[in-house]
Structure 1
């Protein structure tokens, strides 16, 4: 890994992610649910914060942005499409743009679905994807604003990233998401093995994120639209499309 990754628990089950490039002493953070634990972590390490990256407008991802920016002077970066409902932005971005953070060119990816203005940040050299509430550990975000087709398209594009990419999602939802996955396929050995690992981590008080994309591809029901076993578990006909599979799985998760 070309950078140091620091995971900061916030609120009840949120995470903020600090990325530190030691070669240039550049420090960035993705989402700020609250400022105090971030300032404490930065102070302990003597790191100066340069950039605040926002994935989407929900309060549990942005409530600490203004205070953190005021305390550190960091540049606030977020989606141009959502600028009207984000804290004041110093730089507006959209999918397809790149940001130079330290020595790394970071790709901005549009991922509508959870919200229509949601973006993700991909650090290709470091193999890190900060996905907010789009692709989540063993799940995906609820469709508060977007359509199933939008989220399916967003996840399909993220699924094309290298399998060793680490998915840094915004919440500690893995165990709950896993219970849903197992409700569909209770005998699936890959799901059972992952749940065992997840519960062991939580018993130790450790985060279950980040998770490699290869693991998500094998176990996450929202990335397995072509899997015949999952399609059968959902009671869908053989002719069902991957979008049909996603849509049915998401609807069931909403009722779970």
Structure 2
């Protein structure tokens, strides 16, 4: 399986997963349709599936147009079936979704929204986290609670350290400023910031990151308890 990063809107990332053996593709969180259409048509892929992590418009904005153009099936969380446009396949926590050579385990990770899920492709060692876990950050808590978000991040932390993290936005450089302010002696973080700045200066994405890297540098994953996490989340909201 190949993974292609597609910049969308201002700072969103959508991801196209391609199975060469069957010439089929999935797209994760299509913020808008046009960049996805351009890529799919240029590559002559067969876009069969649209995977949504949550219902926010900047993650589902391309759903309807892509479904209409490519006759794709839209996949999302059962609990969000009334909020994800044109949903076809409804998944639950810990369910396995498989189609052809695509196979992902679903984790319900509320906090940012009540119906947020992530897709874990174990064979390919990659996780699509939407707006729950970012590189050096985590999502704002809109519909859930601090405890839910803290627990959701701990679910992710239990995955293999080499897991590749694909998140929904290019927030890494800004997130690094907050992490450094509150974790100024973290040498792993300082080294990561150097790499981040180089990538961004070259116009390259900072994603994917690895779970091991995030555990070492992401202040939200390093929070020891719910009290510490809640304080950091409040501080970040006003940073």
Query: What's the TM-score, normalizing by structure 1?
Result: 0.91
Structure 1 residue 186, shift from structure 2 partner: 2.5
Query: RMSD across aligned C-alpha pairs, in angstroms?
Result: 0.9
Deviations 1:95-139 (A, max 9, x none): 111111332421011010000000110000001100000011111
SS of match in other structure, 2:220: helix
Given that residues 26 and 47 in structure 2 are in contact (C-alpha distance below 8 angstroms), is that contact kept between their aligned partners in structure 1?
A: yes
1:176-215 → structure 2 map (5 Å cutoff): 176-215=174-213
Given that residues 11 and 171 in structure 2 are in contact (C-alpha distance below 8 angstroms), is that contact kept between their aligned partners in structure 1?
A: yes
Q: State the match for 1:140 in structure 2.
A: 138
Provide the rounded CA distance (Å) in 2 between the counterparts of 1:102 and 1:204: 36
1:1-256 → structure 2 map (5 Å cutoff): 3-226=1-224, 242-256=225-239
Structure 1 residue 26, shift from structure 2 partner: 2.2
Provide the rounded CA distance (Å) in 2 between the counterparts of 1:203 and 1:193: 16
Provide the rounded CA distance (Å) in 2 between the counterparts of 1:63 and 1:71: 14
Considering only CA atoms, is the larger Rg found in Structure 1 or Structure 2?
Answer: 1
Q: State the match for 1:231 in structure 2.
A: none
Provide the rounded CA distance (Å) in 2 between the counterparts of 1:187 and 1:218: 12
Q: How many residues align?
A: 239
Structure 1 residue 249, shift from structure 2 partner: 1.1
Unpaired runs of 5+ residues, structure 1, are 227-241
Range moving further from structure 2, 82-91 or 111-120: 82-91
Query: What's the TM-score, normalizing by structure 2?
Result: 0.98
Deviations 1:158-213 (A, max 9, x none): 11001111100000000011111011122321111111100100000000001010
SS of match in other structure, 2:47: coil
Structure 1 residue 86, shift from structure 2 partner: 1.3
Structure 1 residue 85, shift from structure 2 partner: 1.3
Given that residues 225 and 243 in structure 1 are in contact (C-alpha distance below 8 angstroms), is that contact kept between their aligned partners in structure 2?
A: yes
Unpaired runs of 5+ residues, structure 2, are none
Given that residues 183 and 219 in structure 2 are in contact (C-alpha distance below 8 angstroms), is that contact kept between their aligned partners in structure 1?
A: no
